Amino acid sequence: MDRVTLRGLRARGHHGVFERERIEGQTFVVDLTLFLDTRPAAAGDDLTRTAHYGVIAEEVTAVIAGDPVDLIETLAQRIADQCLRHEVVEEVEVVVHKPDAPITVPFDDVTITIRRGRA
């Protein structure tokens, strides 16, 4: 499988278990790796035969900005589901970063990484 990778997609979301997170929101950062066969697109120089990463980026940021969830695990799954709606995407790896997580000790980042494929 070939890979198309998007790193650092950012959007403001209202995800989290604490009321403050739901009210104030925070920035979430997402990295995606889309697994697909790019040979058909390359052979015909045809955008319709590959993953249109501009469209996928817009869809993913809409998921981040959309309906709130408690867990970043749930957010990652929703993002994976959206990516897999594109027929050419066979698998996706999603990393959700929550750099402003409500943790009481110094830290750099909190992430979840999931990898999902077609059932």
84: Cβ–Cβ under 8 A, 6 or more apart, which residues?
A: 92, 116, 117, 118
Are residues 79 and 53 in contact, defined by beta-carbon separation less than 8 angstroms? no
85: Cβ–Cβ under 8 A, 6 or more apart, which residues?
A: none
Are residues 29 and 8 in contact, defined by beta-carbon separation less than 8 angstroms? yes
Q: DSSP state, 16?
A: S
Amino acid letter, residue 19: E
Distance CA 85, CA 89 (A): 8
98 is catalytic: yes
Say which of 98, 108, 110, 116 is annotated catalytic: 98
> What amino acid positions are annotated as catalytic residues?
98
